[in-house]
Structure 1
Amino acid sequence: MKILIVVLLAAIPMLMLAGCGEKDPGNTSKPGTPAKLPDEFTSEKEIPSILENELTPEEKSALLQEIMPAGPGNEATPEEKFVQLRKDAEAGDAKAQNGLGVMFYTGEAISKDSSGKILTNDPVTAAAWFHRSAAQGYADAQFNLGLMYANGEGVAKDPAKAVELFQKAAEQGNVDAQNNLGVMYYAGEGVPRDEAKAKEWFKKAAAQGNADAQANLDAMK
């Protein structure tokens, strides 16, 4: 039987770096002899002349797209995105508060202890932001805070409080909260043991495609 699925709902997309593909310009140098490019300055939006003369217009266009993919030129940096997220969170935006909590929990947002030492993650600050968001009825934050109480991370362990928060999120359709609520009922943690209610919540989560809930249902048979 699976116990609590410890998953935080990430609200900040991961940044990905992609390398540019390279095209053989049709080098005719002898094998083993490196081709020497002429000294020239090429901006990030230009193609070196030695390549430009060898390419068709279509190939030039394709190569330029690899060198400088199309996109907004004023896209915010990760730091700017974090500053804006914190600004929105401090202004009371529940989604931003939950997202900020996730960043502090995972260590994406840097925190320091009282001595100035950098922390790898900060569950206490994370829980504080989840509290603010959950108090506004934001389901993802209720689920995340429920996990904190269930595992005793950033807050004192309190299975009953975890059940209360999972219940609120589950009733809003949060599939992971539904599965975890089923686990709490099955195990009798924070709530009297009740297999019928456990099965009820597992079925609701499984109906939404949750594989863990389906596995829990199968394990109960």
Structure 2
Amino acid sequence: MKIIIFLLFTVLGLAGCGGKESAEQAAQDESQKMLMMDEVTAIDELPSFLKEGLSKEEQDELRKQIMPTLDDGLTPEERFQKLRRDAEAGDPDAQNALGAMFYTGEAVSRDAAGNIMDYDPVSAAGWFFRAAEKGHAEAQFNLGLLYLHGDGVEKDIETALKWFTQSAEQGNADAQNNLGVIYLTGEGVEQDSDEAIKWFEKAAEQGNEEAKENLEAVRSGQN
């Protein structure tokens, strides 16, 4: 039985790189950490690993999702600074978008030694956490993925499940699909096919293709 595990950010592909700092700690240490980092905004080009397999139209759409204000007349640097100000002022949309930029490398970070980091999952986790605490469904989904993989935070399936559930209950189809996978495989929870099907159905009703395929695979396996 083939089960497709959909593990994408809402706006970006997820790469694997473990971390040991919790999102809570990342959020608390963000201001101190920024003293060690030189942040700039990259040119309006997607990183190469995000472009792979995408048409020009799909790349343009992804770029708009990552930075929805590309047509605002601002330079990349001005746009990043505005987003950062909005995030620091508590705007959850800006906080989630800033987290996505740190994860993709769209916002470039330097470590304490001054070396440029390809991407910064710890800072991403901190910003996702701030937005997730405010009930931002996409940030909750993104944070759940980081906990699922231990990327920028300590791997914790239980915490991933918590954030996926909060996001799914708000109607996020990707979180619903991931919940279905977790319950189906029993990773970190008691295996529950009925619960898995419930979440696959909710996601499939919203047109989520991965959930449709997962649902079909589950039902085929039951026959």
Pairwise same-fold verdict (TM > 0.5): yes
Contact 1:10 1:99 in 2 (8 A): no
**Which portions of structure 1, spanning 4 or more consecutive aligned residues, are displaced by more than 6 angstroms?**
none
The 2-side partners of 1:162 and 1:114 are apart by 29
**Bigger Rg over Cα:** 1
Other-structure match for 2:148: 150
Q: Which has the higher helix share?
A: 2
Answer whether contact 1:94 1:132 (CA < 8 A) is retained.
yes
Encode CA deviations 1:60-112: one digit per residue, 9 max, x unaligned.
xxxxxxxxxxxxx9811111111000000000000100000000000000101
Contact 1:9/1:102 (<8 A) preserved? no
Paired residue for 1:160? 158
Q: Distance in 2 between matches of 1:164 and 1:207?
A: 22
For structure 2, the 5+ residue unaligned runs are 13-42, 46-70
- With over 3 angstroms needed to count, the CA separation of the structure-2 counterparts of 1:136 and 1:209, relative to structure 1, is same
Percent same amino acid at aligned positions?
54
Match of 1:201 in 2: 199
Change (3 A) 1:182 1:74: closer
CA shift in 2, pair 1:155/1:74, >3 Å: closer
Q: Which consecutive unaligned segments of at least 5 residues does structure 1 have?
A: 17-72
- Counterpart in 1 of 2:94? 96
* CA RMSD of superposed structures (Å): 1.8
* TM-score where L is the length of structure 1: 0.70
Q: Secondary structure, in 3 states, of the residue corresponding to 1:110?
A: strand
Conserved 8 A contact 1:206-1:213 = yes
Task: Decide whether the 8 Å contact of 2:7 with 2:178 is kept in 1.
Answer: no
Higher relative contact order (CA 8 A, sep 6+): 2
Q: Which residue of 1 aligns with 2:9?
A: 8
- Give the 5 Å matches for 1:36-185: 75-185=73-183
Whole-Å Cα distance in 2 between the matches of residues 84 and 115 of structure 1? 27
Where does residue 15 of structure 2 map in the other structure? none
| Aligned counterpart, 1:212 | 210
Q: Is the 8 A contact 1:100 1:129 kept in 2?
A: yes
